[in-house]
Amino acid sequence: MVINKQIHFGDLSKFWNYAMQDSNARRKSSRDNNNIGWSGGLTWEQAKQMAISGWRDGMNEIEKYRAKIVPIVTEKVLRPKQVYSLAGYSVDVGSFLANDPECFIAREYEERNYPGKIYKIVASISFSAAIKPETIIQRGAMICALIDAIEFAGHRAEVICNDASSVSDSEKYRQGKYKEGGWFEVSVTVKKVSQPLEMSDLAFCLAHPAMLRRIMFSVAELQGWSDFANNYGCPAEATDKGDIYIREIYSETVPDEHAITWVLTELGKLGIDIETN
């Protein structure tokens, strides 16, 4: 029987509860510990624990980019305004000689009046087996830094983690034009518009190899896809691409400056006009 399924989970807790069940699948790579490096160094049990608690160490990867991006975004979102105060970084001599107590000049920052927008961001984690764990980690950190910058700039983001697979590596199959031949797609809302950023959750879902190679594989096993499609199928495009659809960025790790330039370029596409030179 051909499998053609699209499943959406509206929040992470429901997704974890489902994905962490056991299955009767013949092929269960989600539990295979022969090559744990491929899944980011985590066994199945360790992946479950990290999924629930978040990936704290992954925040270090994100911070590497965030530390360089936020000051640039800040310059675009905030502008200094000189005000007279009882304390400040310099003295207005005329006011001082006139015995004006508010003779100091201080800087206050006011937000620029940008209209905040809501963006639906769909991040694909459909990687081929050849993509190395370190490439997945860097890409995910870049996406997390982008989401952080979007919200810092006064906008709001809904973030969807997507894994789509087709039964064939033909371009038309991977584009979802022949889903009736075999298709399996899982989407998870990892951040709702109204939710604050929980970076450790985002880091695991978007940047840790175990999200795909342990957790998503488990869902595929529960749904029978792992026994139907060869090697869990071929990476495919999301059906709902939202406002911002992020596919594979680089096929291998890149220098940090390239990663930062990518984030700033994506911000520019959203109207957050930032010089990348």
**Whether residues 133 and 264 fall in one domain:** yes
pLDDT (0 to 100) of residue 77: 53
pLDDT (0 to 100) of residue 75: 62
**Whether residues 162 and 191 fall in one domain:** yes
Residues 190-219: pLDDT tens digits?
A: 999 999 889 999 999 999 999 999 999 999
**Whether residues 105 and 204 fall in one domain:** no
**Whether residues 17 and 96 fall in one domain:** no
Domain that holds residue 89: 79-111
**Whether residues 190 and 248 fall in one domain:** yes
Examine residue 277 and state whether it is found in any structural domain, yes or no: no
Examine residue 98 and state whether it is found in any structural domain, yes or no: yes
Examine residue 275 and state whether it is found in any structural domain, yes or no: no
Work out how many domains the chain is built from and give that number. 2
Angle in degrees, 0-180, between the axes of helices 44-53 and 199-207, rounded to the nearest 10: 140
Examine residue 274 and state whether it is found in any structural domain, yes or no: no
Residues 238-258: pLDDT tens digits?
A: 999 998 899 876 677 778 788
**Whether residues 99 and 11 fall in one domain:** no
**Whether residues 51 and 135 fall in one domain:** yes
